[in-house]
Structures are given as C-alpha cells and as structure tokens.
Amino acid sequence: MEPLSPTLILYPAFALVALTMAVLLRMRSLRFAAVRRGEISVAFFRTYPEGVEPEPLRVVSRHYVNLFEMPVLFYVVVVMLYVTHQVNAWMVAGAWLYVALRYGHSFVHLTSNHVVARFSLYFASAMVLALLWGALLVQLLRAG
C-alpha cells in the first residue's frame, strides 16, 4: 500500500475557504440588494453606528464573522499536522468531517436557521476539532 500524501490534509482547508468565499459573496449580494431597496443606508456600513440590518442580512453577516472564529483553530491544526509530518488517514478523515459539519452548519444557519439543528452541527464540529487537536498532541508526545 502506498503511503498517504501529507498534502491530503490541506484540501479540507481549501474547501473551508471556498465556503467562506461563498458566504462572502452571499453577504455582498444581500447588502447591495438591501441598499438598493432602501432597507438600509450605505452609511450604516461605515461604522455600524445605529439602525438595524434587515434580519436576512444580519444572519449572513453574523455567519460570515463566525467563519473566522472556530475555523481559525482548524486552519492552525491543519498547518501543524502538515509541518510536523503527523498526517494520517484518520486526521484527513477528521478534517473532512469537520468541513462537512461546517457546511451543514452554514446550510442550516443560512436557510431554515433552526437553532437546535444549527447548534448540534456547530457542537459536533467543535468536538471533531477538539479530537483533531487531541490526536495531534498524542502523536507529537509519542514521536518525542
């Protein structure tokens, strides 16, 4: 059996970046549409001082910010796995599972916004992330 290519751990990160870019484009579209319809002033986006964003825009804006919170820990663990040569099939599978759960979380948050389903997906992704970090620590300790 051929050894696993360490670059396989990088592809889930690219998939998560693609999700982030898709949400950014959706947010841009909603913002432009809200300004065109007169639902919000373009001045609101200077400093966000007052006024209320329309709910669909507020949801996508909050979701976009969320993609720069916990996922940062994902990007770091991916890079650490790669540079420390600790990539294995389980880590790659875990990284893809994390990304799949984040895609699911995004889908729920940006469509039905069912809070229990959304939180379940978010929590599951956080647990997968914790397992990735824990497994990396164990592997590093074993490697000396």
The DSSP line for 17-41 is HHHHHHHHHHHHHHHHHHHHTTSS-
| Distance between CA atoms of residues 26 and 65, nearest Å | 13
pLDDT at 41: 86
Q: What is the pLDDT of residues 84-111, one digit of tens each?
A: 999 999 999 999 999 999 999 999 999 9
**pTM greater than 0.85:** yes
pLDDT digits (tens, 9 = 90+) for 35-89: 999 998 888 888 776 667 889 999 999 999 999 999 999 999 999 999 999 999 9
CA 51 – CA 131 distance, rounded (Å): 41
Q: Which amino acid is at 111?
A: T
